[in-house]
Chain A
Amino acid sequence: MSVRVFCNARRGEDLLVRGARVVDPLAGIEKVCDVLVRKGVIAELGEGLQATAGVKTIDAVGWLLLPGFVDLHAHLRTPGREDEEDFATGSAAAAAGGFVALFAMANTDPTIDSASVLEGAAQQAAVEARVPVGFFAAVSKGLKGERLTEMHELAQAGAVGFSDDGRPLATAQLLRRALQYAKVTDRFVAVHAQDDSLTGKGVMNEDAVSAKLGFAGIPAIAESAPVAEALEVARYEGGRLHVCHVSAALSLEHLAKAKDLGLRVTAEAAPHHLTMTSDKVNSLDSRVKMNPPLRTEADRKALVAAVKSGLIDVIATDHAPHAHEEKEVPFEVAAFGTTGLETAFAALYTTTVLPGELPLSTLVERMSQTPARIADIPVPTVAKGQVANFCLVDPDSRWVVDPERLQSKAKNTAWAGETLQGRVKATVAAGRLAWEAGA
């Protein structure tokens, strides 16, 4: 009973990458060398490698070669809202962002809450997706918070984990039951921690900016209180708990305590929470409206420190595509969410690595190898004999984020108009060249 991913790559590629600096925390490599891929498998690493005639060669001098990223939290909107994203566009966005695998959340229409729905989506992904796509299954039928899904059958169908993300789990009892069954399936339960009574009609973080603009605020305790509750349930019950998109510094103390107790708890943070603050909302631009909301600089700094220390295990995008008409409306009535796959690395590189907040190798580990380990899929690493799962990044390339030029079908990126440094030039996923800039 293993986690399954689906894509349309069939044939491994032959490829020579020349002169890139390989940074692979798992393999313990940080050096310039050539990488030769034969039939989709890394055949050789070394200097002055030669390819046989006709083999595609990428001159990557000055670039980075990194283990490909794995996204534990994407909304691909298929089935049901193919006008916002489908497997072809979502996986193209992922490939353009350096991702070699991604996991789609279950809040689709229909909900991924039965093996048959999961298998239908999987079949479609197997035809359309250019990088491997895996699936979360819902904890409750239709995300209604009432009846548990058939978690064992869903795990057999290949679900990576269980989540009602998009909504908080309705009750602590439901979380308890899910954790109990998660022990049978050895999958994790991912929670969107949110107390609805404290969230109220809030549309942004409750802070000085909301005070000034008059927006109803979402207090940090609307996240930290249910995080504490979920951890308490996990402490009592056991099972693997994953806390989605941690955004508030107040949540971190609870996580630290749970980890000190040795609980099987992991947590993620999203690129937007690690690179932006609620000041952005002064623009009244609905593209910076997300849930959880952008918090304060103190929260952002605490989150980055937690990523650095490992308290936050992974960075996951919470890629949330939306149709124009859901965003081209006043802020309060706009949909929550930003796309994130194509900008994740560049945003984090620009805002956290270049100013020295986060070492590059740590960023790579949190975006690639740790999420793969949590998902229980083969860990991308640049070593002989491994399937090629890596990306090439030009760390000096500065680019302006133009929504029209991104691969995602949706254009609601919070980074629109921002200048970022570090651009993914090519991505090799599951042994195939899935993306090449300008190609």
Chain B
Amino acid sequence: MSTRSPSYASTRGVSDVAKRDLLSIDDLSRADVELILDTAESFLPVLKRDIKKVPTLRGRTIINMFYESSTRTLTSFELAAKRLSADTMNIKAAGSAVDKGESLKDTILTLSAYSPDIIVMRHPQIGAGRLASRYTEASVINAGDGKYQHPSQALLDVFALRQAIGKNLEGLSVWIVGDILHSRVARSDIGAFQMLGMKVTLAGPPPLMPRDIETLGVEVEYDLSKLGEADVVYLLRMQMERMQAGANFVPSLREYAALYGMTLERLRPGQKVMHPGPINRGVEISSAVADHPDTLILEQVEAGIAVRMAILYRTIVGYDERQPGERGTA
């Protein structure tokens, strides 16, 4: 369960029902994570059928509320909900009441009047999901909140890795390379990788490395000279849209690519390469690496559907051990 902050003075609409949100990877125990991964695996056969749909969440309502542009996360959540037969609605900030100055609180109160079971929310601000959760009885799933968390990404990443390497990730070394400062993917994946026993190293230019990040129990490198020790190289996209003009985080993309770009020369045979997408070919990843057989980028996208089905399913039915399709479910 996510913890709730003490209540605000103006309490209109504040929800006190017990419910399961997924706002941060830290909301999950290792057992929860493994349950979601196992649940996702049980959904894989469904996705290989001709008719890729089960009635599991029939009659349930899921609202995807996206305050930030997104292609893969939104389509992946939407498809996951549809594969489970839930009713879905997509709301984008552009063209909605948000454009007319409606506050997050009021938008959530309004949507909650339709009694959704789950609100999947992406928002440019940290903690928006937690704030939203206070005003709705629906479970809130964070599909990315600013630079803080993107838990479904972390879960699909470890799922894709398990599919590629095997269930036991204990002791493997993963290097997360790039713009750590602005990356909710890094903040979520660090937690997920560590939970499954992996050793995490962060590498990137010093201005894009958060001060005191070592306190999360990670190693920090400012160059790739020791990249060979990594079993998994997780590349981050250069997020030009988050860079303030004049902040001088990187002098140029050319220099960034030279220092931190993943090239065939840097790739050790057997290393797996991951990237949350969208990729910038020639910047953080060369074309040759992007198309290399040891690169799991498309496997990550594919894993997204099954993992998000598992997240939606577990959010509704709970985190006990039963698998979908076993007697008494669906």
Contacts and interface: CB of A to CB of B under 8 A. Distances in A.
Interface string A303-332: 000000000000000000000110111111
Nearest to A413: B9
Interface residues of A, number: 30
Contacts of A201: 244
Interface of A: 200-201, 206-208, 210-215, 217, 219, 283-285, 324-325, 327-333, 403-404, 411, 416-417
Interface string B127-149: 11011000000000000001111
Given A211-B213, A211-B215, A329 B6 contact: no
Contacts of A210: 210-212
A330 B8 contact: no
B126 A217 contact: no
Contacts of B215: 208, 211-212
Given A200-B244, A283-B5, A214 B216 contact: no
A330 B216 contact: no
B258 to A, nearest CB: 26
B8 A214 contact: no
Interface string B304-324: 000000000000000000000
Given A214-B148, A330-B131, A284 B5 contact: yes
B127 A284 contact: yes
B104 A329 contact: yes
A152 to B, nearest CB: 40
A284 B247 CA distance: 26
A283 B4 CA distance: 8
Interface of B: 3, 5-10, 103-105, 123, 125-128, 130-131, 146-149, 182-184, 187, 210-213, 215-216, 244, 247
A266 B220 CA distance: 41
A283 B9 CA distance: 16
Contact of A330 (B9, B123, B211, B244): B123
B146 A332 contact: yes
Nearest to B191: A212
Contacts of B149: 214
A211 B103 contact: no
25 contacts: A200-B244, A201-B244, A210-B211, A211-B210, A211-B212, A211-B216, A212-B187, A214-B149, A214-B182, A214-B210, A215-B148, A283-B5, A283-B6, A324-B9, A324-B10, A328-B131, A330-B104, A330-B123, A330-B126, A330-B128, A330-B131, A331-B127, A416-B6, A416-B9, A417-B6
